[in-house]
Structures are given as C-alpha cells and as structure tokens.
C-alpha cells in the first residue's frame, strides 16, 4: 500500500470541509468529491488533467455516480424536487451533457450498473431503472418507504435495496422475483433461501451501504447508528444462500470492542477502510478486528474505497485529500 497522489484543488478553490461524498469512477481514473459549501470537484487520479471545480445545478447534491465505460458520464442527483445533472468525462475533464431528449428523474440516490447499461434512481416512493444514454424506461419499483441504499449485482441482473425501516429487498430486473426481509430476522425460504449469517438485533441501526459478493444473493450491508451527534458506529451484516459455501470464518460480533466514525467495505471483501474514534485511518479485516493503522499528517475525517478495491481516498482535518494504491493488506502488521 502506498501513496498514489496528493490531490491539489483547482486554482482559487480552497477545500476545508470534509467531503460529504466520495465517488470513484469504474476505471479508477476519476474521483468526485462534494463538500458542504457547495464545492464539487472532479479529480483526475491518472493526472492527465488538473482538478476541476464543477458548475452545479440548483439544490444540494444527495448522490453521484459514474457510468461505466465506454460511455463515461458523471451523474449528480439533487433530490426528487430538482433535475439530475450530467457531465461527459473526456480526457479527465467534465463537459456539461444535457441533451434535450434525455431527462432522468429527480432522485435522492443514483447508482450505475457494472455493465454500464442501466441507472437506478431512488425517489420518494419508487425506484426507477433507466437505460444509460437514452434514458429509456426499464422498470419502476414501488416502495412503501424511502430507499436509503441501492446496489446492482455484479452481473447487473439484480438490484438490492434497503429502506428507512431496515427492510432489505432483492429485485430481479428481468423478471418478477422479489426477496424481502427485515434486517435482524430470519429470511423465509423462497426458491433459493437466504440465511443471515450476521445481523443486527437492536433498533436504531440504519443501512448505509450494500456490497454484492457474488452473482446471486451474497450481499454485505453496512449499518450506522448515532450514539451521539459526533459518535457514530458501524456494524456489518451479511447474507448468503444456503447452497453457497461461506469463504470466511464467522466470529462473534465485534460491536462494543471499537467504534468507528466511518467504515467502507472494499467490494472485493478483503478489508474495511475505517476512520477510528482517534481520527486514525485504519484497515481492518472482514470482522473489523485485526488490522493496522496508516500514518497520516493530520486527523482523518473520511475515507472511501473504489469499486476495484485498488484505490483508497481519504481526507484530513488539515484540508489534505489523497489517494492510496491498495495492494493485498497484510493484517497483523503495524504501519502503513
């Protein structure tokens, strides 16, 4: 693991606030950050182009995603009351892209499918799946409660969704199959049953991130709970089909041993990137136990892992932003 680059902001732009959003492009060459003072920056990690401050639409950005290549766009969501915004990424630079015949719905969440063909938009009472590029309607999913986390499966055939009440739904995009559960309860058998190997049993935990493990139904959910306004904690749950062998040990839930201000699961599931209560950037194993800290100048405020799990972005209290190249972490070692 080593420092890939320190990120220099665009001329005339001072970055002081912790990014509210970190989003890597699928090819790891671009990084989007959004800060509380309505500063949105496109960073070129490949260093082909300098960092670029983006001209934003009305409202507060609630979510962002990059579409996969060969069509590489940045899509910004401003909530259900404002239109989405698109930029075409060309040689590391963002060019406004607003064709008159392409109108994506206003949304609180937007996610891109791994195959680059679909975008999912979460509105107040629906999740709309649209075709990338044309905006053509693929499917509308009615929800009783607002979705707060979305993620396509790796083969782009399923969409996992968690709502404000902790219900987890898995939707087959080309069929009528829907699996639902309430986090913390056993999922009833449905063709291929799902068993919760790790789950929350206490109220107050809110799902914030979903990561798929395999083609069908092997998923991880990171949940967050506020013990005080400045003291959140993160826990991990995972579900696997009964017919699929779990390739990692199940240990006792580490909750209570250490709390984290931020926790991001690498999609290849080899590690968690965490911000500890001591403001350190740390890598932990899948059980949030063994691991090591990464020495940084300044207190760490947030972190994010790319889809490929080979890039780790972080911000510090001194305004520094950086990107690390991540190899295979060796847990049990000290230092970074």
Omega of the bond leading into 262 within 30 degrees of 0 (cis) = no
Contact 108, 80 (CB under 8 A): yes
Residue 103, pLDDT above cutoff 50: yes
**Three-state secondary-structure class, residue 103:** coil
Q: What is the pLDDT of residue 287?
A: 67
Question: 169: how many CB neighbours lie within 10 A of its CB?
Answer: 17
Q: What is the pLDDT of residue 198?
A: 54
DSSP per-residue string spanning 28-70: SSEEEEEETTTEEEEEETTSSS--EEPPP-SS---EEEEPPTT
Q: How far is CA 192 from CA 27, 187, 243, 246, in A?
A: 33, 11, 8, 15
Long-range contacts of residues 228-234, Cβ cutoff 8 Å, at least 24 apart = 231/259, 231/261, 231/277, 232/259, 232/260, 232/261, 232/262, 233/259, 233/260, 234/208, 234/259, 234/260, 234/262, 234/263, 234/274, 234/288
Q: What is the pLDDT of residue 151?
A: 92
Prediction pTM value:
0.84
Residue 252, pLDDT above cutoff 70: no
Render the burial of 65-93: b for 16+ CB within 10 Å, e for the rest.
bbbbeeebbbbbbbbbebbbbbbebeebe
CA distance 294 to 39: 27
Read off the pLDDT of residues 165-196 as tens digits, 9 standing for 90 and up. 777 788 888 765 555 555 544 333 333 444 45
**Three-state secondary-structure class, residue 273:** strand
Query: What token pair was written down for 86?
Result: 């698109």
Render the burial of 124-152: b for 16+ CB within 10 Å, e for the rest.
eebbbbbebeeeeeebebebeebbbbbbb
Rounded-to-10 torsion of CA 44, 262, 26, 92: -10
Residue 243, pLDDT above cutoff 90: no
In degrees rounded to 5, what are phi and psi of residue 147?
-75, 140
CA distance 80 to 125: 10
Q: What is the pLDDT of residue 79?
A: 92
Q: How far is CA 187 from CA 100, 108, 152, 192, in A?
A: 45, 28, 20, 11
Q: What is the mean pLDDT of residues 215-226?
A: 72
- Ranking 30-34, 219-223, 302-306, 322-326 by mean pLDDT, the lowest is 219-223
CA distance 95 to 324: 27
Q: What is the pLDDT of residue 129?
A: 93
Query: How far is Cα of residue 224 from the mean position of the Cα atoms in its chain?
Result: 14
DSSP, res 82: S
pLDDT interval class at 95 (50, 70, 90): very high
In degrees rounded to 5, what are phi and psi of residue 328?
-80, 110
Query: What token pair was written down for 78?
Result: 């401003």
Q: How far is CA 70 from CA 93, 115, 263, 308, in A?
A: 15, 10, 31, 17
- More confidently predicted of 293 and 123: 123
Q: Position of tokens 């609180």?
A: 108
Q: Mean of the per-residue pLDDT values for the chain? A: 78
CA distance 21 to 208: 13
CA distance 79 to 72: 22
Residue 137, pLDDT above cutoff 70: yes
CA distance 100 to 311: 36
């Amino acid at each position: 693991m080593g420092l890939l680059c320190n990120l220099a902001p665009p001329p005339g732009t001072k970055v002081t606030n912790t990014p509210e959003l970190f989003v890597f492009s699928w090819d790891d060459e671009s990084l989007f950050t959004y800060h509380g003072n309505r500063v949105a920056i496109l960073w070129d990690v490949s260093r082909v182009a300098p960092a670029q401050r983006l001209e934003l639409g009305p409202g507060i950005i609630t979510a962002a995603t990059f579409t996969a290549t060969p069509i590489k766009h940045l899509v910004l969501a401003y909530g259900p009351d404002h239109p989405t915004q698109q930029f075409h990424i060309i040689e590391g630079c963002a060019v406004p892209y607003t064709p008159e015949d392409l109108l994506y719905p206003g949304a609180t969440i937007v996610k891109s499918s791994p195959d680059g063909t679909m975008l999912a938009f979460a509105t107040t009472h629906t999740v709309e799946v649209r075709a990338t590029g044309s905006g053509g309607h693929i499917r509308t999913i009615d929800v009783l409660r607002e979705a707060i986390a979305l993620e396509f499966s790796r083969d782009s055939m399923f969409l996992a969704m968690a709502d404000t009440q902790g219900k987890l739904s898995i939707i087959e995009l080309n069929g009528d199959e829907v699996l639902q559960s309430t986090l913390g309860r056993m999922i009833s058998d449905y063709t291929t049953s799902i068993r919760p190997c790790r789950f929350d049993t206490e109220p107050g935990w809110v799902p914030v991130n979903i990561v798929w493990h395999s083609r069908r139904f092997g998923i991880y959910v990171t949940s967050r709970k506020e013990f005080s306004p400045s003291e959140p904690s993160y826990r991990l749950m995972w579900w696997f089909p009964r017919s699929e062998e779990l390739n990692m040990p199940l240990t006792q839930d580490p909750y209570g041993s250490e709390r984290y201000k931020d926790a991001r699961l690498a999609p290849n599931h080899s590690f968690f990137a965490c911000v500890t209560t001591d403001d350190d950037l740390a890598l932990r194993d899948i059980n949030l136990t063994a691991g090591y800290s990464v020495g940084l100048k300044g207190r760490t405020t947030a972190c994010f892992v790319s889809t490929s799990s080979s890039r780790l972005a972080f911000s510090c209290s001194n305004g520094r932003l950086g990107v690390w190249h991540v190899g295979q972490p060796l847990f049990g070692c000290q230092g970074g």
